[in-house]
Amino acid sequence: MHHLQSQLRQRLDANRRPALSADHRIILRPETREERRYAEYFYTQTARAFSGCFDSKLWSYLIPQISEAEPTIRHAMVAIGAIHTGFGDAANRRQIGLSGEGQFALQQYNKAIRHLIGLQATAAARSWEMILVTCCLFISFEILQGNRTLALNHIDAGLKILFGCEHSAIATNCSSEIYQELRRFFCRVNLQASYMGRLLFPLGFPSLDAIDFGVAFTDMSHARSALDQLMNKGLLFIRSVGVDRDARDDSFRLKKEPEQQALQRGFNLWLVSLDKLVQKLGAWVQPTELRASLLLRIYHRISMVWVLTVLARDEMVFDRHIADFDAIVGYAEVVRLTTEINNRNSSSSVFTLDGEIIAPLYFLSNKCRNPYIRRRAIKLLSCCGRVEGMWNARQYATVATLVMEVEEGACPGAVDSEKDVGALARVYECFHPQDAERNPCHVVLMLKPDGVDTAFQPRKEVYHW
């Protein structure tokens, strides 16, 4: 297997040459004009949309280079370029699938699958790195198509491979560039899949201890990678506590509180390191770096709220974090404004592969009962008009509005502050029983209208978005 990894790295090294023009790339391979067109679209548009405001060697450099020698990767890349070309209307991805680009993309996707099956007996197909690269592309294709179940299944498969490699002798060279980039990608989709109800894979984080000593971040991507690791660790802690809100004995709390405090220290030290990086960049900070720092601050604060509230049994605990919610909405308003300015007339203005503001604003809209901050968050979601990974802003703005109306509708009088929304009126959890992105859609709200010591009462709703 070490030999197979060496072969892949040799291919990468052989392809490391100065950036070629589109015409030079055309000469290198026997492709149709249509295939070349969508490959070029991937190079110039899709890689940027997938990277967002963080530098990503995986999309901008490594995958395009690998595609020069690997037909499986090339066809999958062309398929993604084709489907992304038609991504002008984020609200209706079904139309993309039925379009000419959609049909062509499906043909290319099937070619990628056939090449992968045909190469099962060759060295390239058995390389776990190559399989994970292919898995990255298949995940991205299904997310673009709006096929959430298939995307989640590919994420599960990729995480199982990565998890298996890290707990065996296969991953002998964990310092390689392609390994590090793949690991960062799967660390992020691990979080996305968990938000969608899938199991969180307990990936190991050997570099996490460095955060406890106030490591200096070299750039925003470094800061993001460290935060992703902390968020994975934080979410594992939250999953270990559970969401049942049942009465717990003192021994359970005594066991969990030190973990909670250790995570809080980790998040606090991470913020110190981010502040040092921003201070170091000073007046030379680029607009994309400033936007990236705001996104990181959003996820830092929302993660702190998750971790600090998980041991509480009722929803009133979130009222302690109104200042955090206010700050998060303020950051998101700036991010949204800069996104509109930077991405005007660009396909990346309606789609990005990674989560940015939709998921944290949705969580905030459900947990912040201050009517003014809550409405600012929902307004941002409603005006966003974007899809970020598996998060459609329009859909989740509708669900957040529904939750708000259910809670405020159960209050006896006008809601002027969070204190006006009583404990018995609050929605604890909100579940989507379907993986598919459908319209209309079903949602199940979990309430405890008879008190925290009683069983959950589900309330089923159908909403149009």
Do the Cβ atoms of 42 and 32 come closer than 8 Å? no
pLDDT value for 206: 54
- Amino acid in position 193: A
Distance CA 33, CA 40 (A): 11
Residue 199 — φ and ψ, nearest 5°?
-65, 140
Q: Which residues contact 220 (CB under 8 A, 6 or more apart)?
A: 53, 54, 55, 277, 289, 292, 293, 296
pLDDT score of 173:
58
pLDDT tens for each residue of 159-213: 988 887 777 655 555 667 888 899 899 999 999 888 887 888 777 655 544 455 5
pLDDT (0 to 100) of residue 17: 37
CA angle 205, 206, 210 (to 5 degrees): 100
* Predicted pLDDT of residue 82: 92
pLDDT digits (tens, 9 = 90+) for 295-324: 999 999 999 999 999 999 999 999 999 999
pLDDT at 9: 45
How far are the Cα atoms of 96, 214, 222, 367, 435 from residue 55, in angstroms, in the given order?
28, 23, 10, 32, 30
Strand order in the sheet with 387-388: 351-352, 387-388, 391-392
Order of strands across the sheet with 427-431? 427-431, 441-447, 457-463
pLDDT attached to residue 211? 53
| Beta partners for residue 429, in sequence order | 446
Distances (CA, A) of 391 to 52, 95, 115, 132, 347: 15, 18, 31, 23, 16
Q: Which residues of the chain have pLDDT under 70?
A: 1-30, 88-100, 118-126, 168-175, 204-214, 340-349, 434-437
Using alpha carbons, select from 220, 226, 259 the residue that is nearest to residue 240.
Answer: 259
Write out pLDDT tens, residues 418-447.
999 999 999 999 988 766 667 788 899 999
pLDDT of residue 244: 79
What would the two tokens of residue 184 be?
Answer: 């960062």
